[in-house]
Each structure stands twice: as structure tokens, then as C-alpha cells.
Structure 1
Amino acid sequence: MSLQDGKVLPFPEGFNSSDTVIAGVHLNKTVLQDWNYSFYSNNTLSNNSFCVLAFKPWNPDYIFPNGSWVNETWCYKPVNSIGVRAGVGLGFGIVFGLLFIPVLMNLQNHGKLHLPAESRFRPIGRRWQWYWAILTITAALISLFTNIDVDRYFLPELPLILTCFFWFIMQMCAIATVWEAVRHWGSWMERQFVDPNPFVLKLDDRRANIEFWVPLFFYLCLWLNFFLIVPRNWGIIEHQRYPMQVVLDAEPAATDGRFKAAAFVLVACWLTIAFSVWHSIKHYCERNRGIFNRAIGIFRFMPYRFLLLMPIALAICAYQALCAWKFDYSPLNVYGSRVAIYVGGYLPALLILIIQSISGFMRPNEDKELLRQRRERGTQIDRELGLAAKPAWWRRAQADYVPHERMRDRIARNVRELGGGKATARNLDTIVDARSEAAAKNNAAGALAGEDVEMGPVSPTPLSKQATDLLGPINDFGQARTVANQYAGRSERRRAEHATQAVAGLLFPGANADPAARAARHAELMMDGPPPPPYKDDAMRPRPRTGERSRSTETTNSITGPPQQIKSMLDI
């Protein structure tokens, strides 16, 4: 399609003064003039409110006196074939569409949680770069597929506006994708830095404040770029129907001050991204001394994908600034340079998505990487402590190994093997059972002898073997202990009293021992010699007990008595 002059031409001559021949069809010239139709050099008939094509095969067949047409074609219809701009855009659209698959796969891989979520490092932080990539692809597809109708429309209209609108959205989303990749890399570096020691970095220092305000500043600049471009009168961009209209209307509108300011704001976004990279390297990587070494360190510690993404993002900013000053290279120009539109307008966003997708496949999930680092630190600590981990087959070689058994199930199985319950409770139950059996035997013997069970004779009954083993069978003199006066009646209170006396006799042998045992114990204590003789001297008399009355306040004894002789420090 070539741009026509847009000049008004006289109606071609017909058979008479009220007839005109346009594209081989006779039309009533009087009716055309009554409805203010004019014939233009671009082969259209228009009255400033309705426009029809006036060339084969789209020319109308007849016009009624009321101004209606037969078989007319509106000027704003896709009547042309696909051109270079539409064909290349279709190829770019297919590539952008195929990138949906790796982006969604990376979102699934890197967005999945393998560790509990932390308030300091939220899971959505690692997903935002893929969300922005999805928005970039969506905006690019809409822009490229509506770009097909830019070539097919005879006169520029809505497809041109949709193409340019979503092209600007695509550029903003591509810059946001790079920003989120850089911001999240700094967050990932911080997470690795604080994982061994959560208190190594403060949460209210200058570093933390910068990391809080920098994202807000970036998105402020990004939304300023959006509001400087999007809310405007886009209809004037459509005025590209003839050269003079392009010069007077379309070009000034496409290169006004708002587009230029939007380009500067986008450059501010790129500078914010560069500052974020420098900030992360400064705080979470090794520090170098000297300006030259620091400059080298920035490129040494920066990931390789950022060495590619940063220049490409800068190219997006540069091309948008170029379009704000040179209308010939802008996508807003229907007849602009195709090479500039696709190389500078769509290729950088496509490269950003490809680099992000490839790097996403090469990098592991962050939670898995963090677990691997923790295992390495644990192995290093065990090596320093001299602990050797058993191989994997060691546990399987054990006799009690059960595959896929949880620790809870293993503890329950061990409890079932030991019988369950407390060990002391089990032994006491054994003792009670033994005593119950002995009491039952005594009651049966008393009944056979004709004695009253309740008031029967109480005789010492030896403990059962289990109780003897538990409480100790041998006393201090090498003699076997017995529980005296074991109760054989039915009174629970008396049975409890007898049991208490029996236990007290075992714990304190001298309290309830028989006379013979008590005499033997006394003889043993006297083996060291007789007790000391009583004191006869008043001077040697020991200190009076606390209960005796003290006469230290009597002045007679203190004056007439002999002076006190101190023999040791104990007498003071």
C-alpha cells in the first residue's frame, strides 16, 4: 500500500451532467453532491462522516437518493494483503507464544516450596519475575497479532492504536522482568547469607532501609512511564491518510513532550536496576579494595545472565527514546522502518525472555539448594568434630530394619516389644499379685483350721521371689529380710497399714526390728569402745544447752569468779 496525496478531485464525466463514472460504474452525481460526497486522490468517496472505497473490486454498485449504498466497502476494512510488517510480526508472535511453555515450567520449578515459608522471604518474591514474563508474552502476542491488520487496513485505524498500546505495555513488562530478576537475586543472596546465622544482619539498618525503598522507587518510575504514555488521545495517531496529515497531526502527537519524558523515566528505571545490582554485590559478596578492583568485582560476582540482560534492557530504553525524537523509526508510524521496529522494538523483549528461560532451567530450586548447603555445613561440622557418618546400607543391614518406617512407628514398635507402661508400675503390679496369692493361701489355710479369717493369728510371711529381688533379700547383718505381720484379712485399711509398716521396716531396719536384731545392732555399734565418761570439772563442763537459763548477767560471779582461760578458738 502506497500513501496517496489525499487531494480532492473532480467527479469524472459521465453520460450527462448528473452522471459520473467511478471505477467503471455509473453513479448519480447529483445525489453525491446532495450528500456532500467528495472524490479523493486515494480513490475514496467521503463526506467526513462516511467513507467508501471507489476502486475495483471494492467499488459500490449504486447510491439511492436517500444516501444509502449498494455493495459498498467501508474505508476502514482489511482489504489489502499481508505485507512485510504483518508477515514478520506473525513470525515473532509464534516465537513469543512458544515461550509460554518454558516460562510456565520455570514458574512451576522455582515457585514450588520445599521448606516452610518465611515472612522475611515470601514465596511470591521468587515468582514475580515469571509473572512479569507471562505479562510480557501476553502483551507481545496482542501487539503482534493486531499488527497484521495494520498492513491490511486501507486507512489506519484501531489496529494501529492497539498495536502501539500493547507494544508500550510489553516494553514496561520486559523492564519489570529484568528488575524482578535482579531484585530476587539480591534477596536470594541475603537468604544464603543469613541462613547459617539469622542474626548476622539487622532488620533496621541502612542496608535494610535501602532494600525497602528501592523497589518502591522503581515501580514509581515504571508507573510514571505508564501514565505518561497510556492516558492520551490516541485518535490523532490515526491521522496518517496522506502526507500532509502525517506532518501536521500524527508526527507532532507521536513525538510530544510526554513521550520524551516517558523515555527519561524508563532510563531512571534502568539506573535503579543497576544500583540494585551494585547494592547486592556490596553487601553479600566479597569486598575488594581499590576502585579498579571493585569495578572488576562487580563483573566477577554478577551472574552471567545479568551481563546480557542489563545491556538488552538499556537497548529498550534507548529505542523508546529514539522513537520519541524520530518518528520515522517509531511503531506509531504506519510506514515506518520495519527493521527498526522489530530489531529495536520486539527483539530485546524476546531475548530477555529466552535468556530468563534458559537460566531458569540451569538453576535449581532455591529451597533444594538451601537444603544442600545445610547438608554440606552439617558434613563439615561433623568432619571437624571427628564424627563419621554411617553409610546408607548400614541401617538396612540391621535386623530390626523396616523399609519406609517412620520414627513414630519405630518407637511404637519398641514399646510393644517391651510391654508398654512404666517399669516401676509393672514391678509393683507383680508385687501386689504375689502378695495377693500369698494372702489367698493363708486365708485358705485358716479356713481349713477352723479359725476366723478376720481375727486370725498374724504371722510373718516371707515376700515372694519377685518382691525379694526388688527390695533386697539381705539385711545389714547378712540375714534374710522378711515382711512381718503380713495381713491376711479383708479390710483394705488394715492391709494398707501393714504394707506401710513392712516398707518402713525395710527402709529403717532399727525401727521395727525384733529384740534379737536390735541387740545385735547395739553390740555392733559398741565394738568401737565404751562411751566417753561424764565431765566432772566445772571448767570442763560443756556449753549449756539452749533450754537452760543463762546467768551471764549476774555481776557477782563475774567479779568473784576466777578468770576464764581460753585454750582454743572453740572456747571463744
Structure 2
Amino acid sequence: MSAPSVINTDYNQDILDQYGYHIFSNGTISNGSSCYLTFDQYYPEIDPDGTVYNGTTCDYPYYHIRARGAMGIVFGTLAILILPSTFHMLRKHGARHSVVEYKRFRLFGRRWQWYWLFVAHILAAVSGFMSIDIDRDYIQGTALTSYGAVYTAIAPTILCAVWEMTRHWCSFEERRVFEEDPFRFKNHDRRSQIHLIMPVVFYLFAFLFFLLTVLRNWSLLIKINSTFIVDDRWKVGAFFGFVAFMVTIFQVGITFHYYHPRIMPPKIYLSFIGVAAIIAYSIGMAFDVRISPFNPLANVPAIAIWGYLPILYIMLIMNICAYFERNEDLVIADEKEDRERRNMNSLLQNLHTDSSADTASTLFTRRSYTNEEIKAFAKAHVKESQLQDLPEEEKV
């Protein structure tokens, strides 16, 4: 990066004093609200009425793209390239293949993880390309503040996507139990109350995470530059993000406690690794400005490994795992068909062991049959009756 050749300026000192302009040794002139370059071909003219001609703002992209900008281009491009896969997974897993839709298992609920991930794609792409001007600007300005707001919004968005993925897995395990036995759980027991409270608790802390880290006065970034990020507001916001992550982990414990799944999907704990890295980075940058993405002179490899890689990692994990998974409705339908087949085989086996001379009424008084067995027996009886009604030449 070659330094510009600063030239001496010749302004009317009375005009400068009247409008509060000061000339600085770095080749700029500013009155606190406006800042202009005053070197090389950039030479603003100030009229006695305060009008500025040929003025070039201090955040003009004067330099060439360097490592920070190149890394941002790669990050933004990869986020865009993964986006079509996210659309495909939304269509695949958000489609309905079931005739009946229960109120507690709405189709809209399983789509939320992909909605949040879609927003994360957009934020990642925008922030990646915004980082180009951080390298190019002569003095940091709008590019750095805009980048800070957009990039910071990625962390709570990714956290919400992982939460919805975990919550939906819990809902899927509940649906599997419900399909097998609709009367296993009561509607207003402690379990249902926990399912009602958990999303409220998570989104409360996620919103506080967003409020304290994203919704702030980003103009301070220009005045205090890279040291502003160590303020207590950011630290408290990162702590709330950690609490929201703990709520997500607690959701996994609730799922195992009530529904006893055979195994936790790999996408859950693999995504947790990425979220843990994002939360750790949010806390770490508050204590070390050398790794802060809001520091124009920060360590570029540190930003790439801690700031960008976990985000892309979660996007890939969610899409790759969803590629090998089937739609929830299809899984439920196969499990239901398998239960009916097993119940029918069990019923026929029990009927075979009973005396063949006994009537159907005698069989039902000899032992207690489950609802599924009775349904299977009825289907088998109807099918046999239909077969007997066919002509002899069609039975073959």
C-alpha cells in the first residue's frame, strides 16, 4: 500500500474558521461533519458561502483490493453458491405428502429452519462484498459501519436456524410417538407446557443478543475505530447469545427425556460445534481487537477461521444432512405401514394358533386384541370378501 503524496493546501483561513474546517497532516480537511481529501488530484474548493466544489469524501476507495477484500469475495461467493441447495432443501422437506395435518405438527413449522438459513445466506453474501471497501477506503467510513451491522446480524440468524432445526427434530420425534399411540400423552401436561415455553425463552435471549450487538450506534465505529467493540454492551449481548445456545442444548435433553429417540441426528451435534465457535468468537473479539472483524488492520487468517468458516460450515452441514434425509411425511407413512404389516402378521399368527373350529366371536372373547390388530383383521376380512365376490376366471 503506497502512501499518497500529500500537497500543501492554500485556503482562506477566515473561511476555514467560519465553517469550522481544519487541515490535517494525512491530507484531509474536515469540520467534524464533512471530510474531504486534499492530495493528488483531489483538491476541494470552498466558496465564501460554505459551498464545497470538487470535494471527494475521505472514505473514497483510494487503495486496491487486498487480503481482507479478497477473503470477503470468497466468503460472499460461497454463500451465494450454497443458496440454491438451501432452496432445494426447503422444497424437499417443506412439501406435504400427508393427507391429514395435525395442529401441533404444522407444515409451516418445519420450514422455519430454511427461512432463517436463507436470511443468513443473504447477510453473508452482502457482508462479504462489503468488506472490499474496508481495504480500499482511505479513511474508514460508511463501508465499515454498514459491514459491521450486516455481519453482526449473521450470528443471531444462524443461531435461530440451528434452534429451529433442533426444535423440529423434537417435534418429529413427538409425531412419531403420536402416530403410534395418540393417547400416550395428555394435551395439557407438563410436557406440553415445556414445549410452549421453550421457544419463548429462546427467542427472548436471541432477541437480546440481536438488540445489544446489532441495533446500536454504529457511527461510534468511525470515531473510536476498533476499540469500541470492547464495551460492556457487546459483552452482555454475547452472553445472551450463549444463554440462547444453552437453551438449544436443553431442547435436546427434553427430546430424549420424553420421546426416547434411538439416536440424535448428526446434523444436530455437528451444527452445535459451529454455533459454539461463533459464540466463542463473539466473546473473544470483545477482549482482543486483533481478531475483531471491525478492525481494518485485524489479523486476516483469524477472521477467516473464526469469523467466516463456522458460518459456511453450518450452511454445508444443514444442506448435506438434509440431502440424505427423507421428507418427514414419507418417513411417518413408511413407519405406519410397517406397524400395520406387523400387526396383521401378529394377528394372523394368533388366529392360526387358536382352534380353527372357533368362531370369530369366540376368538375375541378368548384374548384381548389391540386396536391395531382389530383394524388389521377387519382389512384382511374385507379383502378376503372382495376376493370371494370375483368371478373364478379373475381370481387367478
Q: 2:74 aligns with which of 62, 86, 91?
A: 91
Q: 1:172 aligns with which of 146, 149, 156?
A: 156
Deviation at 1:361, TM superposition (A): 0.8
Deviation at 1:64, TM superposition (A): 5.7
**Residue matched to 2:363:** none
Deviation at 1:66, TM superposition (A): 5.7
How many correspondences in the alignment?
355
Assess if the C-alpha contact under 8 Å between 1:89 and 1:144 holds in 2: yes
**Residue matched to 1:364:** 326
Deviation at 1:264, TM superposition (A): 0.7
Q: 1:120 aligns with which of 94, 101, 104?
A: 104
Matched to 1:52, the amino acid is Y
Higher helix share: 2
Q: Does 1:34 align with 2:9?
A: no
Assess if the C-alpha contact under 8 Å between 1:77 and 1:154 holds in 2: yes
Q: Does 1:76 align with 2:59?
A: yes
Q: Does 1:273 align with 2:275?
A: no
Q: 1:46 aligns with which of 26, 30, 48?
A: 30
Structure 2 residue matching 1:212: 3-state secondary structure: helix
Assess if the C-alpha contact under 8 Å between 1:60 and 1:69 holds in 2: no
What CA distance in whole angstroms lies between the structure 2 residues aligned with 1:251 and 1:153? 15
Deviation at 1:51, TM superposition (A): 2.7
**Residue matched to 2:289:** 327
Matched to 2:157, the amino acid is C
Q: 1:219 aligns with which of 189, 200, 203?
A: 203
**Residue matched to 2:121:** 137
Structure 1 residue matching 2:105: 3-state secondary structure: coil
Structure 2 residue matching 1:52: 3-state secondary structure: strand
- Within-5 A mapping of 1:179-328: 179-239=163-223, 249-285=224-260, 301-328=263-290
Q: Does 1:160 align with 2:122?
A: no
Structure 2 residue matching 1:45: 3-state secondary structure: strand
What CA distance in whole angstroms lies between the structure 1 residues aligned with 2:102 and 2:184? 17
What CA distance in whole angstroms lies between the structure 2 residues aligned with 1:170 and 1:49? 30
Assess if the C-alpha contact under 8 Å between 1:31 and 1:65 holds in 2: no
What CA distance in whole angstroms lies between the structure 2 residues aligned with 1:361 and 1:232? 38
TM-score calculated relative to the size of structure 2 = 0.82
Deviation at 1:399, TM superposition (A): 6.7
Matched to 1:85, the amino acid is R
TM-score calculated relative to the size of structure 1 = 0.58
% identical aligned pairs = 32
Q: 2:335 aligns with which of 352, 357, 373?
A: 373
Return 5+ residue gaps in structure 2 as ranges: 349-376
What CA distance in whole angstroms lies between the structure 2 residues aligned with 1:330 and 1:225? 18
Matched to 1:256, the amino acid is D
What CA distance in whole angstroms lies between the structure 2 residues aligned with 1:348 and 1:2? 34
User: Which structure's CA Rg is the greater one?
Assistant: 1
What CA distance in whole angstroms lies between the structure 1 residues aligned with 2:34 and 2:174? 64
- Within-5 A mapping of 1:340-351: 340-351=302-313
Deviation at 1:60, TM superposition (A): 2.0
Q: Which is further off, 178-187 or 142-151?
A: 142-151
Deviation at 1:385, TM superposition (A): 2.6
What CA distance in whole angstroms lies between the structure 1 residues aligned with 2:154 and 2:251? 22
Deviation at 1:275, TM superposition (A): 0.6
What CA distance in whole angstroms lies between the structure 1 residues aligned with 2:6 and 2:69? 31
Shift in CA distance, 63/202, structure 1 to aligned 2, threshold 3 Å: closer
What CA distance in whole angstroms lies between the structure 2 residues aligned with 1:256 and 1:66? 41
Return 5+ residue gaps in structure 1 as ranges: 5-20, 240-248, 287-299, 402-572
- Within-5 A mapping of 1:468-487: none
What CA distance in whole angstroms lies between the structure 2 residues aligned with 1:399 and 1:209? 61
**Residue matched to 2:356:** none
Q: Which is further off, 73-82 or 217-226?
A: 73-82
Q: 1:110 aligns with which of 93, 118, 121?
A: 93
1:189-243 deviation per Cα after TM superposition (whole angstroms, max 9, x unaligned):
010111021111112222221111111100000001111123322111112xxxx
1:83-131 deviation per Cα after TM superposition (whole angstroms, max 9, x unaligned):
2111110011010001111111010011111112210111111101101
Matched to 2:244, the amino acid is C
What CA distance in whole angstroms lies between the structure 1 residues aligned with 2:79 and 2:175? 33
1:316-335 deviation per Cα after TM superposition (whole angstroms, max 9, x unaligned):
11110111222221112121
**Residue matched to 2:43:** 60
Matched to 1:103, the amino acid is T
**Residue matched to 1:528:** none
The root-mean-square deviation of aligned C-alpha atoms, in Å, is 2.8
Assess if the C-alpha contact under 8 Å between 2:44 and 2:56 holds in 1: no
What CA distance in whole angstroms lies between the structure 2 residues aligned with 1:87 and 1:41? 30
**Residue matched to 1:508:** none
1:465-510 deviation per Cα after TM superposition (whole angstroms, max 9, x unaligned):
xxxxxxxxxxxxxxxxxxxxxxxxxxxxxxxxxxxxxxxxxxxxxx
What CA distance in whole angstroms lies between the structure 1 residues aligned with 2:290 and 2:95? 46
- Within-5 A mapping of 1:401-550: none
